[in-house]
Structure 1
Amino acid sequence: MKFTRRAFIALSAFIGLAVVSSILFMRQKFFGKNPFGDRLKKILKSPNYKSDTFQNLSPTSVTLENASYLKMMREFINKPKDASPPKPLPSVKTDLKSLKSDKPTIVWFGHSSYLIKSKNINILIDPVLSGSVSPIALFGGKSFKGSDIYDANELPDIDMLFLSHDHYDHLDYKTIVKLMPRVKKFYVALGVGSHLEFWGVEPERIVELDWWDVHKVADDIEVIGAPARHFSGRSLARGKTLWSAFILNIHGYKIFMGGDSGYDTHFKEIGDKYGPFDIVMLENGQYGAEWPYIHMFPEQTAQAAIDLGAKLLLPVHWGKFILANHGWNEPINRLVAAAKKSNLPITTPMIGEPVIIGESLPDKIWWNI
């Protein structure tokens, strides 16, 4: 697609109309609701909430100070030819409701959504199963062909559902509404519960965690909120809810669920306090030169895993949506190379293919299609 001045003006007008429309319909359920009342009072006491917004541990801008928005818009329009796979993705259709698990078993659904089964406990992370990641079609690409092999109804009843932050590619209204009746408890970053309550989840089913908060679930299950370097917001307002990673100690295993994060010293701090980890799920994709602090480049993902003391890395946040300007399989190719160079164990399952800690670790290069 050739980018002309006329096309740019037309697109700008269309984007402006889309933004105005989104503001006009901000009260719709899809957008959720920012914290208020007692929840806001709790947030105001958080050491991570300053100047009317949540803050990262290190000063962090969403984009570089000198980033060209015109350049970013041009790149957004003129995506590389390999931004999408040339044909439907291969996958494995596992029967999730009859999945057996003596050891923690992870089934990835593409992007940052995955199921963990440990003995009789079903754990779901950042489920997005509606095929889109934006309230405005212009900004949210559809999922890749072949990546949507599961519907919410095919998932088992969920004991623990984790939400790392409130961006649309991690907190999906349509998916949550479908799953809501079958979720025992929601474990979310501080403030995210406001969206859930607005959608009909009872307060007693929501556990909100600030960074370093520890929550005992059972004698052999513990959840800890952990820092991440990112931002939040489902509207024009940013930073009203927190963004987090989660540490899950379950049945004698240590699992790190990373959410979205740029690279920083917090990975080493988490590793020193709570590592080493039997498996870590870390973002690997949707990075860009203009926003280097809020997402990691693949080589940084490998280093973050090393900082955490990872015995095994499972890369997520790729393989389903176009949210950046790199080739669709560039992140995984770069990460595999970086992991090999660092002797970092990595597993690369197809969507739906089980990873069993200490037993089954798929590593086939399936993405060169």
Structure 2
Amino acid sequence: MMTSRTKRWIRVVGFACVGLCIVVFIGSFLFLRSPAFGSLPDQAHAARIQQSPNYRDGQFQNQRNTPIMATDKSRLTSIWEFLTIDVPDLIPRRDIPVIKTDFNDLPLDKDLLVWLGHSSLYAHLHGQRILVDPVLVSASPLSFINQTFPGTSLYRPEDIPPIDVLLITHDHWDHLDYETMILIKDRVRKVVCPLGVGAHLASWGFSIAKIHELDWYQHCTINDTMQLTALPARHFSGRGLTANQTLWSGFMVQGPFGNILLSGDTGYDTHFQEIKRRFGTIDLAILENGQYHEDWRYIHMMPDDLIQAIEELSPKNVLTVHHSKYALARHPWYEPMEKVVQASKNNNFQLMTPKIGEVVFLADSTQTFSPWWQHD
């Protein structure tokens, strides 16, 4: 039989547990409402979004059924394995070689691009300054998660000059960085992004007049000779607890420099064949390569999927991104580069492998690149 003292302790512990739960609930609620999480599309967006053929049953959909998990594991099991299974060389042992380029010194009359690590790119295309998925501060809502590899955080928002076109492929944290957006928004003339993503940017102070949202295969004109077309990708979206309220996409950039494909984050699917059919010649394909795992092969390309996509696109040149800055998957950090380089030897496609910060001159077919990922 319990004594009165025991009963009092049980009540105290019970009240403490309830109090702790309340504190955690309120803390989580306030955290999820912080500005970095952005804003879901409002009623003004809703009518256009609901008219999209890619929006069904209350959310955006892929062209084919695409479960997040490709195996019968639960997401909780997959996360646990991610956190606990040791992977040799997951993180580089030394600084990754990086070149510090002053963008203000680059010739605006030359077509060029600079990879900034992961999926971030800076480019000059027919006199336009283009910035793609710039993540230069943080790739997660918590600063201690998704730490950059040694040496790869050399570029900061203050290095970015005035931008003619900011191109965003989707709203995941490793592609849409709140802090970078806040620091560069006054230097951006135009934003092109998939449907719904503009709501985040508007909530962060971007002028609505600057934001151009596109559905798949819709396009916008940048100037008299340059056009951007949004393309299908096989992925998903969301920055908080609500998924797929904004669209995800790749892009085709067309101009006097040719056709440049940005795949965005994507699993393999038949959309690569359709892109090739619609656009014909692809002068440069910038494709996702890295952060893959068999558990989520429907939403990220495995190495063999990447080669299949290249074969179907048959581009003149290939440059891969989505690697060498973060450990968002469980493979050796250098594996994406090793695998695509070996595939290029076996399949005879022209592969560009610049260091972070190295200028790639698109009209220079003689430019060569070093195997910088082998520095360990």
TM-score normalised by length of structure 2: 0.89
1:30 aligns with 2:70: no
Which AA in structure 2 matches 1:217? Answer: I
Which AA in structure 2 matches 1:175? Answer: T
Q: Is the 8 A contact 2:108 2:128 kept in 1?
A: no
**Structure 2 residue corresponding to 1:99, chosen from 103, 106, 116:** 106
What corresponds to 1:112 in structure 2?
Answer: 119
Which AA in structure 2 matches 1:81? Answer: P
1:46 aligns with 2:59: no
1:276 deviates by 1.6
What corresponds to 2:315 in structure 1?
Answer: 310
1:214 deviates by 1.7
Deviating beyond 6 angstroms after TM superposition, the runs of 4 or more aligned structure 1 residues are 17-20
CA distance in 2, matches of 1:164, 1:152: 19
Deviates more, 1:194-203 or 1:358-367: 358-367
Task: Give the paired residue count.
Answer: 351
CA distance in 1, matches of 2:179, 2:84: 27
1:358 deviates by 3.1
CA deviations on 1:207-235 (whole Å, 9 max, x unpaired) are 00000002122210111010000000001
CA deviations on 1:107-129 (whole Å, 9 max, x unpaired) are 00000001111242100000000
Percent identity of equivalent pairs: 40
CA distance in 2, matches of 1:92, 1:180: 25
Q: Is the 8 A contact 2:126 2:255 kept in 1?
A: no
1:135 aligns with 2:149: no
TM-score normalised by length of structure 1: 0.91
Q: Is the 8 A contact 2:294 2:302 kept in 1?
A: no
1:267 aligns with 2:272: yes
SS at match of 2:166: strand
**Structure 1 residue corresponding to 2:192, chosen from 171, 187, 190:** 187
What corresponds to 1:86 in structure 2?
Answer: 93
1:251 deviates by 2.6
Say if 1:19 and 1:128 are closer, same or farther in 2 by CA, change over 3 A. Answer: farther
What corresponds to 1:240 in structure 2?
Answer: 245
Say if 1:87 and 1:252 are closer, same or farther in 2 by CA, change over 3 A. Answer: closer
Deviates more, 1:67-76 or 1:331-340: 67-76
Q: Is the 8 A contact 1:211 1:225 kept in 2?
A: yes
What corresponds to 2:290 in structure 1?
Answer: 285
Q: Which has the larger radius of gyration?
A: 2
CA distance in 2, matches of 1:125, 1:256: 12
Say if 1:115 and 1:325 are closer, same or farther in 2 by CA, change over 3 A. Answer: same
Deviates more, 1:113-122 or 1:320-329: 113-122
CA distance in 2, matches of 1:92, 1:122: 19
1:257 deviates by 1.2
SS at match of 1:84: coil
Say if 1:22 and 1:244 are closer, same or farther in 2 by CA, change over 3 A. Answer: farther
1:365 aligns with 2:368: no
1:337 aligns with 2:349: no
Which AA in structure 2 matches 1:33? Answer: S
CA distance in 2, matches of 1:123, 1:248: 10
What corresponds to 1:66 in structure 2?
Answer: 72
CA distance in 2, matches of 1:42, 1:61: 26
Which AA in structure 2 matches 1:61? Answer: P
What corresponds to 1:7 in structure 2?
Answer: none
Q: Is the 8 A contact 2:111 2:363 kept in 1?
A: no
SS at match of 2:63: coil
Deviates more, 1:76-85 or 1:346-355: 76-85
**Structure 1 residue corresponding to 2:207, chosen from 185, 189, 202:** 202
What corresponds to 1:5 in structure 2?
Answer: none
CA deviations on 1:178-213 (whole Å, 9 max, x unpaired) are 110000000001100000000111110000000000
Q: Is the 8 A contact 1:91 1:352 kept in 2?
A: yes
Q: Which runs of 5+ in 2 are unaligned?
A: 1-22
Say if 1:27 and 1:143 are closer, same or farther in 2 by CA, change over 3 A. Answer: same
Say if 1:179 and 1:362 are closer, same or farther in 2 by CA, change over 3 A. Answer: farther
CA distance in 1, matches of 2:155, 2:54: 37
Which AA in structure 2 matches 1:38? Answer: A
CA deviations on 1:150-190 (whole Å, 9 max, x unpaired) are 11111111000000000000000000111100000000011
CA distance in 2, matches of 1:83, 1:361: 30
1:22 deviates by 4.3
1:220 aligns with 2:225: yes
1:18 deviates by 8.6
Considering only aligned residues, what root-mean-square deviation do their CA atoms show, in Å?
1.7
1:250 deviates by 2.2
What corresponds to 1:350 in structure 2?
Answer: 355
1:168 aligns with 2:180: no
CA distance in 1, matches of 2:245, 2:289: 25
Q: Is the 8 A contact 1:76 1:325 kept in 2?
A: no
What corresponds to 2:133 in structure 1?
Answer: 126
Q: Is the 8 A contact 1:302 1:344 kept in 2?
A: no
Q: Which runs of 5+ in 1 are unaligned?
A: 1-16
SS at match of 1:110: coil
